[in-house]
Every structure is written in structure tokens, then in C-alpha cells.
Chain A
Amino acid sequence: MTGFDWGVIVRALPFLWDGMKVSLMLTGAGVLGGVLLGTVLAIMRLSPYRALSVAAAAYVTTFRSLPLILILFWFYFLVPLALGRPVGAFASAVIAFILFEAAYFGEIIRAGISSVRRGQLLAAKASGMTHLQALRLVVLPQAFRAMTPVMLTQSIVMFQDTSLVYVITLRDFMTVASIVAGRDGRVVELYTFAAVVYFVICFSASLAVRSLCRPAIA
């Protein structure tokens, strides 16, 4: 039993940082795109037009019954086929994450919209707003506020899920940490470091949002 060599981490930092950038960019794109598309899905699902609500329900059910890793594979191989040209692992991962997360964010946002009293929508529409104006100006802000903690949890899960992209040759933070661990034979150091990094990021993210939420409701 030799001592731990923490210097290995310092030497690998630039490499690890490249991996972290991949993880963060995928999370950012997935949350942004997922929330946008999820909002559209939620509005469709609650729409009185049956065609819209059925289409949205079918989408959500499909994506929620498939494992993320399968969807990653699927887009990695299918998007280039559909487009007739390669799009690269990163682009196909972004598309896969957005489409996958939208199904989950959509359900969260739908629950948020349903938690807002129906009278709010009626009052907004009674004042002359269109349905979409009433949603955008009155209902969605309340729905998002109610759902922020759940959406944060979903974002954290997603941040952790980005480590799956190793299956399509991308190198996220976790993948890079494993590579360094194997290459330098420093498994304990690297996996401890990775655990600490994930913990600090996820924990501070939840603290940040909690303090953001507090003064919001007057």
C-alpha cells in the first residue's frame, strides 16, 4: 500500500476540464431545449384539441418508456442516415438529450400548469388575452415557480446522466476521469475526486435555486 498521489489529478486537470465542459454543455442544452419543448408538449397535452393532446401524450409515453442510452444510440446512428451526412457525436447527443428530457420536463410543467387555479386562466382570458397570452403571462409564471424544485432535481439527474455519452464516443467528465484512472492506475484518487466534484456541483446548484426561490413569492 503506497500513499495516495493527488498530484495525478492536478496533472490531469486540463483533460478533466474538457470533460466537464462536455457535461455542462450537454446539461445546459438539454435543460434549455428540454424546458422549451417540454412547455410546448405540456400546452399541447392540456389543449382542448384532441389531436394535439393525443400527439403530445404519445410523444411523452414513447420517450419515457425508452432508456436514455438507447435514444443516444438511436440518434447517433439515425440522425446521420436521415440527414444524409454525419452530424457528429456531440450534435446527436444534444438532440437526444433535448428530445428525451422534454418528455420529463413536459410532465413536470403539465403538473405545474394543473396546480394553478383554473380561475386564473379564466380571469386572464376574460380580460381579452388570447389563450397563449393567458398561459404565457399568467399561468406559466406561476406554474414554473411551483415546479422549480422538481425541475432542478430533474436537471441534476440529467447532469449525472450525461456520463452515458461514453457509449457514442463522447468524453464527458466521468468518462475522462475513468480514462485517467485506468491510464495512470489511480482509481481511488480519480473516483474520489469525481465524487467530490459531482457532490459540490449538485449540492451548490440546489442551494442556489433555493435562495433564488425564496423572495419570489410575495
Chain B
Amino acid sequence: MSAAVILAEGVEKWFGAAHVLKGCSLSVSRGEVVVICGPSGSGKSTFIKCMNGLEPFQRGRILVEGVSVGEPATDLPKLRARIGMVFQHFELYPHKSVIENITLAPMHVLKRSRGEAEDGARALLRRVGLADKDRAFPSELSGGQQQRVAIARALAMEPVAMLFDEPTSALDPEMISEVLDVIGQLAAEGMTMVVVTHEMGFARAAADRVAFMDAGRVLEDRPTAEFFENPEAGRSKMFLSKILRH
């Protein structure tokens, strides 16, 4: 499985005495889209934060393009620069304009010139449908617009993979589709992605595989069609029926 962009094997994590990841494994190949779903508190956010080393873990291993995330010698900033991440609450920098939000890391991490970074940022803003918002501040944008800027900001680093942590769960219902459309577009273009979401319509349409987490374990990890037609674990059946009802 050396083709995997992200490979997690038997990851265990404790927050103090709380055992929150109990041997989680996941493999994401180039161009693959994996959706992770599961009840709140099951460890989804913690698991994807382990994938780019934002959270340390105690056992198991995670390889990103063959580089071990948990190894003390690993240059984590360099590794993270190749993995984009989008958060539930956007986390745009409130003291910076939209264009500055997007150019900050390319200029300071990739050492791009301002002009080059701004050209790239404008192209990305067009791509997420916000070409006219470059000088706006995050507080002047709707939630959906902020999340699209956050996606553009992550893409500005030209990542080999993207991690999404419930990108639409903080949005008003009418803004969910504008964000999912952008993510779906990325998936169609072949971006490697791990998406934590409860948007099962999106999962059906865009995911190659769906993983179901519960209480710190990956209970199922199967091709999308199989997952929806015939969920194996009783827990995921219950979860699906609850979530698909509304």
C-alpha cells in the first residue's frame, strides 16, 4: 500500500485518562475521497487532526506520503504545508482581509512573493465564486462565504490532500450546498480528501468510501454503495437510519 497518500494503522490516543482513539486504521490512496461519519464524540476530529500531527497520539503510526507523522524527527510544518485542512468554524484570521488570509501561508511558508501569492489567491477566489470579495474582512462575509474562503486558503498551498472537519455543520441550511458544491468540484477534479461530515447526500455523490466511527473505533470502512445498501455493523445501521430520516 505504498500508493497511499495517508495511511493510518492502529492509532491509539489518550486525552489524559480518556482513551479516545482505540486502534484506528484508514488508508487513502491518491485521488480517493473518504467520508468519515459517526456520532458526536466518537473521535472523528481527533483522528483527522492526528493525520497532520495537530494532535499527538501514543500508539500506532500514520504515514503521509510515506513520512511518519509521529516520528520526533519529522518536520511537521513541512508535512502540514502539503495537507490542506478546513475546520468546522472556518478559522479565518479576523484581523486580515480575505486576500491576506489566502496569501499569508504561501508568502511565509512557501516564500512566494506578494504578487505571485495574490495572483494565485485571485484565481482561487474565482474558483470558489468569490472573486469580488478579495478586500473584504471575514466578519463581513456569510458563513458559507467564509468557509469557501477557508477552502481557497487551504488550496493556496497546493496540497496533495485535503482534510475537512464537518465543513458545513456550523452553517445555516441554505448555505450548505454552496460549500458542498465547491468540495464536490474538488473531488471531481481528483483531489485526495478525507471529509468528516454527516451530509450523506454528499457522501453518496462524492465519496469512494465511507468510514463509520463510534466510541474511538472505525467500525466500518467500505465502498460507498456497499455502505449505504448494506451497512454491516448494527451501530452504523442505527446511525444511518437516524441521520437519513431528516
Q: Which residues from chain B contact A125 at a C-beta distance below 8 Å?
A: 54, 77, 80
Smallest Cβ distance from A186 to chain B, in angstroms? 51
| Also in contact, A127 and B93, with CB within 8 A (given A119-B87, A133-B109) | no
Let me know if A128 and B54 touch, CB within 8 A. no
Complex Cα gap A149–B108 (Å):
30
Q: Does the CB pair B80–A120 fall under 8 Å?
A: no
> Are B154 and A127 in contact, with the CB atoms below 8 A?
yes
**Is B54's CB under 8 angstroms from A127's CB?**
no
CA distance A216 to B139 in the complex (A): 13
Given the interface contacts A122-B54, A123-B85, A123-B87, does A128 sit within 8 Å of B109 by beta carbon? yes
B137 contacts A by Cβ under 8 Å: yes
CA distance A129 to B104 in the complex (A): 10
Cβ A127 vs Cβ B78 within 8 A: no
Q: Residues of A contacting B83 with CB < 8 Å?
A: 126
Asked if B109 and A127 sit within 8 Å, CB to CB, the answer is yes
Are A128 and B81 within 8 A (Cβ)? Answer: yes
Which residue of B49, B89, B95, B154 has the most chain A CB atoms within 10 A of its CB atom?
Answer: B95
Which residues of B have CB within 8 Å of A119?
A: 87, 89, 91
Given the complex, which residues of A lie within 8 Å of B226, measured CB to CB? none
Q: Decide yes or no whether A207 CB sits under 8 A from chain B.
A: no
Given contacts A133-B109, A137-B104, A218-B140, is CB(A128)–CB(B95) below 8 Å?
Answer: no
Across the interface, which residues of A come within 8 angstroms of B105, CB to CB? Answer: 124, 127-129
Q: How far is the CA of A145 from the CA of B108 in the complex (A)?
A: 22
Chain B residue, CB-CB nearest to A133: B108
Residues of A within 8 A of B (CB): 117, 119-120, 122-130, 133, 137-138, 141-142, 145, 216-218
A-B contact pairs, 13 of them (CB 8 A): A117-B91, A119-B89, A123-B93, A124-B105, A125-B77, A126-B80, A126-B84, A127-B109, A128-B110, A129-B108, A142-B94, A218-B97, A218-B140
